Amino acid sequence: MSIPVVKRDGSVVPIDVFKIKKVIAFACENWEGCDPLELEMDAHVQFRGHIKTEDIQKMVIQTAVEKISPENPQWEFVAGKLYLYDIYKKVCLHRNLEKRPYTRFYEFLESATEKGLYTPIVLETYSRKEIEELASYIVPERDYQFKYVGIKTLSDRYLIKDVDGKLLELPQEAFMGIAMFLASKEKDRLHWARSFYDVISKFEVIPATPTLSNARKPLHQLSSCFVGTVDDSLDSIFDFVTTFAQLSKYGGGVGADISRIRAQGSEIRGFKNVAGGVIPWVRILNDTAVAVDQLGIRKGALSLTLNVYHNDIYDFLNLKTTSGDDRRKAHDIYPAIGIPDNFMRAVQERSDYFLFDPHLVRKHLGFEISDFYGEEFERRFAMVLECAQIPKTKVPAIQIMKLILKSSFETGLPYLFFRDAANRGNPNKHAGVIRSTNLCTEIMQNMSSTEITGSKVDGDGNVTIHKQAGDLVVCNLSSLNLIKVHEEEDLKRVLDVQVRMLDNVIDLNFYPVREAEYTNRKYRAIGIGTMNYHGLLASKGIVWESEEHLEYVDKLYEKIAYYAIDASSRLAKEKGSYSHFEGSDWQKGEFFEGRELGERSDWNGLKNRVRSDGLRNGYLLAVAPTGSISLIAGATAGIDPIFSKIERTEKKDGVIVAAVPQLDDSTYWIYKEAHKIDQNWVVKAAGVRQKWLDQAQSLNLFVTSDAKAIDLLSYYTNAWKEGCKSVYYMRSKAVEVEECESCQ
């Protein structure tokens, strides 16, 4: 007697064991060591009456997942194909595709647009003939690149679903939809849609989470992070609170410099000892982060930077501790410390440092000290020390650093922002100052506060508030998959496409606040990053702790910088330079000086081409963490060494197991885990990369529970000496850290 099973459409049919065997055989096909019979036997499917076919599929998928091991990591591709089969079934059912995935793409766009799930821009821009031509360009077989964790992540978080949560979109349709949207303003939009689709669908370039998620959707907010500046006034503070709330509402992570705000006990309108300092304002921003969550998914993400010379630095460093007055805590903020060179020298020399109130500097000396960096900052710092009217607090510099180390070891925070290195390496120093960084510490661009210039009311009671927009930095990110793209010819080909694709993000973006649009169009800044760094080293047989590693990374990132700049210059010749190109280090050629330029690339020729043809993008290179998008590509995250060869995560719907890329007998011992690597080699590699990056990199440090304070200090000191512009988390094995999803 045959066992009845319930199909996805609700119909009841006799079980077809042969069909189950066929699906398993299909999934195991071409994967050596993955025996379909073994998977059948291990699945132990209990065939009971009226079991759902979907439940059978889930059992088989989970069995394949749990078979992933260092000895046979290929099972994650088998699990990925089984999961894909499940996706195909669901989408075909929900769209009435009659078991034929990747058909009727135009009808899907029509239906999704009508339901408000797809932006009208695509149907308004492309004719039916053009869409069907692009649909025929889709390569369904590229779905077989997905590992289990990659296709599950894409399905759970990025593919389009209806209001009831029913999956409607297939992976390659998503990639083509993104490509079509990003190419919609190009003159030869079909050519560039194909080009964008190819680099994304081949996992050569993966856009950052907001672009991957929102390009093609009605609310196309494509940027990962925003970075602002808060001035020392109620108008500025509460204007930023509103700005942060709007940015957070639409899913953007936010960073801000608060170093201008007067210290606790400062004067207000001549009344002494009445100012509450930065902490009360930090708490308001903390509560805003909790109240205005990101699209109802998670609380807002905000990193605040305070310069180390600020009188409130001790309270700021204690924001996330559990001891002391809870009214002076802000547990949902990500603190960052702005560190000038003179502080690091004082730490090295075990000498004293001085804290003061920036408001009194403005009052008595007439300048804002955070407007300066390098030698000019130190000259003005000396003026502050000489001014008898400005009270100073003398403290041992190492005492502050000990608090930073203690907090870093216990919580992973604060981030460190080396402000002098950031500004020395700023190619647009002629137009502004870098005051802080974003949530993931890789974005370094000019920042300034928005100024409320006045208001008026007309006879009908309409109030108009006038604002002078400052520079509100916008992060437009995507990452190269280095295992796929590292040879010179591939870098040249792919970066040409990637630069154009990111540049189009600027023009197609939805901006929650107008200052962001103003700054984004002014500098046309992009952030080209990299993922699969450790994966590439392992595939090349290069040990992390070796001089060979440093030599290789130096040549690799030189080529990345060369072809990124070259692509942006050629794009400028076609579409025009960013508005502040004149006077920049790009235009003057100073960006190309002070580096040991390789002989293989024509740097002098490039310098001359940039001078004559211009540059499309004022900022180009920034390496983000890539946590989520690297899962999709089956890559190691960002520039980090691996955490584990096999990662096992317990989820409510089962276990997720993922292996590092190309794990086999030849790479097993090359893949050394992050916490086992001497972190000075992590820092050395970052220093080599940094000289080729006009912005920065999300540099994590990995420590164990028995790490000594002197070692932690050496990592930070060496990062500063090596010219790194920032340090992200210090990741102790005992500490859970929560990252900005947008940048990943």
Are 443 and 253 a contacting pair, CB within 8 Å? no
> How far apart (Å, rounded) are the C-alpha atoms in residues 126 and 409?
54
Backbone angles phi, psi at 596, to 5 degrees: -80, 90
How far apart CA 236 and CA 530 sit, in angstroms, is 36
**What is the Cα–Cα distance from 589 to 609, expressed in whole angstroms?**
10
Distance CA 331, CA 734 (A): 18
d(CA 493, CA 491): 6
Q: Please state, in angstroms and rounded to a whole number, the distance separating the CA atoms of residues 630 and 643.
A: 14
Q: How much of the chain is helix, strand and coil, in % rounded to 5?
A: 45, 15, 40
CA nearest neighbour of 95 among 110, 106, 108: 108
Q: Among all chains, which residue has been given the structure tokens 């300048």?
A: 367
Beta-bridge partners for 657 = 648
Pair of tokens at residue 480:
């190269």
- Helix, strand or coil for residue 109? helix
Residue 651: DSSP 8-state: E
The answer to whether the peptide bond before residue 661 is cis (omega within 30 degrees of 0) is: no
698 is written with which tokens? 């999300």
Tell me how long the chain is.
744
> Which tokens is 389 given?
């009217």
DSSP-derived secondary structure for 591-651: GGSSS---SSS-HHHHHHHHHHH--S-S--B-B---HHHHHHHT---TTPPPS-SEEEEEE
Give every strand in the sheet of 302-307, ordered side by side. Answer: 473-474, 225-229, 253-257, 302-307, 333-339, 415-418, 726-727
**Integer Cα distance of 553 and 649 in angstroms:** 31
Contact 576, 616 (CB under 8 A): yes
Give me the active site residues, please: 438, 440, 442
Outline where 250-396 has alpha helix (H): 278-291, 313-317, 341-349, 358-365, 374-386
Please classify residue 44 by burial: count the beta carbons closer than 10 Å to its beta carbon, then call 0-12 exposed, 13-18 middle and 19+ buried: exposed
**Radius of gyration over alpha carbons of the chain, in Å?**
27
Q: Which of 550, 571, 421 is nearest to 503 (CA)?
A: 571
Alpha carbon 653 to its chain's center: 27
> Residue 301 corresponds to which amino acid?
A
